[in-house]
Chain A
């Protein structure tokens, strides 16, 4: 009965490949987020959806594309992966756009 789940947990891939990360929440929340945490532990918001509508679209390369098929799912697709994309990507959800966020376990992406 995991609240926020992500797949895969680990992703090792070559430069130039395309990969996707999936996120699902069973909390009944209406808002979901993608964050990137770098090797220094800095946590930066990338995207957010509220009721399937994109409400936060930070300055990230357009190789990153989020997609929210419904309120319980938020996916992240990354094209043409680069070394600098290596990081931990966290999905989170909240009930409303300013409430406590619940984080998934993270996806550790390593680009070789």
Chain B
């Protein structure tokens, strides 16, 4: 059974600072997704990473994938309050139909 661990689980940071969220997974996966969830809201897709070494960037967020290490990162640059949300990674294990969601990282950006 695929296990997905994110760390940290909770992150409180000052505006303007940089930080990285880590997503470790235990089984070979052919792609990995990052989603954002605002409090009381639904999930919104941020990135899909399709191959080893893939890097995607959107605004202050940049995601990368290392399939050999089974690790994905979500890097936040110069955080702003609007980035406060819960971020989930979701690997898609090879040969299955499933998406396995990580534990989530609750990010709070303080003004």
Contacts and interface: CB of A to CB of B under 8 A. Distances in A.
Interface of A: 35, 41-45, 48, 50, 55-56, 90, 92, 97-106
A97 B30 CA distance: 12
Interface residues of B, number: 21
B99 interface: yes
B98 interface: yes
A101 B86 contact: no
A100 B50 CA distance: 11
Given A98-B30, A106-B42, A56 B98 contact: yes
Contacts of B104: 41-43
Interface string B88-111: 100010000111110110100000
Given A98-B31, A99-B48, 13 more contacts: A35-B101, A41-B86, A42-B104, A44-B101, A45-B100, A45-B101, A48-B98, A56-B98, A90-B42, A100-B45, A105-B41, A105-B42, A106-B42
Nearest to A105: B42
A66 to B, nearest CB: 14
